[in-house]
A and B are shown apart, each in its own frame.
Chain A
Amino acid sequence: MHIEVRNLNKSFGDFNAVQNVSFEIEKGHLIGLLGPSGGGKTSILRMLAGLESPTSGDILFHGKRVNDLPPQERGIGFVFQNYALFKHMTVFDNIAFGLKVKKQSKEQIRQRVTELVELTGLKGFEHRYVHQLSGGQRQRVAFARALAPEPQLLLLDEPFAAIDAKIRTELRTWLKEMIERVGITSIFVTHDQDEAIEVADEIMIIGKGKLEQKGTPWEIYKNPQTPFVASFIGESTVVEDLSVLKGFESAAADHPGTKALIRPEYIEIGRPGEIKLASATLDANVKDVHFRGSEWLVELLVGNVKLITYRSLEKEVLRPGDFVNVLVHRAYLFNDNDSWIAENSLKTDPMPVHI
């Protein structure tokens, strides 16, 4: 289903939970709604589902305004954060609920439920009650129940929030495959950026009720359009005083009050002499190193500015107090009016890239 939202607003009393949100979603796409807690993600989903009515703005499905359509008529599947399974019903009856409402024949219902039970790997659990299932199994039941009436849009509110990290990665791969196989337009909410990046075709970043940016994970990572997005996606440190960063002084001089946001992957470190562009490097001390499973997390002190970066396990191990050279390849610069990505001017390209 093609979805369009125009200037959506929702206020609770005098609190604006959602402000002027507009977006469009192509049929068959999987969208991740990402943002900090209390940002308004659930509110947006609930308005799409018709469980909450917008204070103002329009919601269009296939170009038709559905604001006044009750949830029953919208053809939407909703997977709730805590699943909201019918706890006095068996797995079979939970999945069959939407089909019984539609007054399908017993045989049709049995067929469809069996199909979904197999699709979701719940075979053998049909006659269990909800309290006899594990978290992951419940999640699958919720998913199957929402899919049973063949909705045109699937909304998932933090579908993996209640599941432990390991099963979570399994489930989200499974979910992505499942959604691709069924070919249904889907929106899912998450707090977890890895999850959004891994699963979603497109990500929408929601902060304080506003849609900050919408794009593919790569676009958002490469060209964050607001400091909020830049700091939310990936890891980063903010450097308030640009003058300590060699190669970014001109930017600092041209735009007073500009700050830099630096990701670990923008930074290269090496023993003295290891980095070829020696003129562009900064002197730094290793403050601390932490083992992160597949690499070292290195904390650096440049003057009194703290930076972080990662270092391969293959390279020589650094110790706290070691003296190193640091090359900052690029930085995300921002001030009150503008934000852009700047390459280190002492490297080959002398001009910063404005976006």
Chain B
Amino acid sequence: MSTREPRKRIHLAAHFPGVNSTTVWADPRSGSQIDFSSFEHLARTAERGLFDFFFLAEGLRLREHAGRIHDLDVVGRPESITVLNALAAVTDRLGLAATVNATFNEPYELARRLASLDHLSAGRAAWNVVTSSDAFTGENFRRGGYLDRADRYTRAAEFLATARELWDSWTPEGTPKPFAHSGPQFRIDGEFTVPRSPQGHPVVIQAGDSPEGREFAASGADIVFTRHSTLEAGREFYADVKGRLARHGREPGDLKIMPGVTYVLGDTDADARERAAEIRAQQVSPQNAILALEQIWGRDLSGHDPDGPLPDVDPDPDSTLVQGRVRVADPVGTARKWRALSEAKGLSIRQTVIEATGRQSFVGSPETVAAALEEFVATDAADGFILVPHLTPGGLDDFVDRVVPLLQERGVFRTEYTGTTLRSHLGLPSPYERVEKA
């Protein structure tokens, strides 16, 4: 291999495996999704592995299926920012990222909570800005669900801009200056209660995939969390999003692209493949297979045998069966693909779902997985990865013990933390340097 250029360094994050259909709960090693000890274990493991950050997702209404609360997957989680403040006490360097919805919060309060986390963690806070327009979730909130889908990023962009005005409103010497913001979404004024925090602005993550979402990321996010986790799709996404940066006066290094990925390790590649198949069978129970089908078809398919053939009927395009979860974009096309797969390989409903959904991104011996991760980053399919283990809380242990040392040997991952803030781990400038540069 050529040694002309220094190798691109990999960034790593740990996604807590909680409310997620890939989290295996019917395994004797599966622990609590809510006890603080589970969060502590995973965060300490990530920090032992010198990860950039720890990541928590958010869902503000329990999912429902056919008007009833979905009961097949792990459910129940803590409020993110609160649990991250507690984790700040048991970790030292690890970044702490909370997913928080811009639709169901107000800039003053959320900016204050994020700045507080940045102070209490000495510069390790990050905010994954998600948007929602769905009236189903809105039923839990004062504002309800009246936001048009088209407005979700308008609000998110003005929300973020307003938050930055608040974070900037104290002088570096520690004097608050009054602020006033007046825009279509927010008209607020007063004084912010929190002094400038160690990072100035917490690190901003974006996780939407629409053109508006990508543009929002290009205009001001520090990290994109994406689902494009194959080499091909990753390169395409990477080129698209990085290509948008120049128009916003930003450089390619200013925005890190990190797909969410899963992995299975084994002593050999064959061993890992065997374990991967076992895990897929645990993830897709017979009941979950029918449910996955119903989510595509939008119909009650409870009468079907999970070990039998796929239904003959076509999906209902206008179904409201599934609530609290994004519905697949093209149900009819997806159903056609699943049918073809089932016929070609002679697969039952359950086998088809196992085959067609949620295949693990990286499967192999530690050497194989380390090489594949390096290839992704070296060939611009990603700048790093948000790892989603399938077990709580021990699911990251083997990766840290077996893969991280290999990445270090390859010279593509840090061997110690060189800075104290999340920005420093990511190689991102302070927001104030950026302003001065411009």
- Real binding pair: no
Binding site for B on A (CB under 8 A): none
Binding site for A on B (CB under 8 A): none
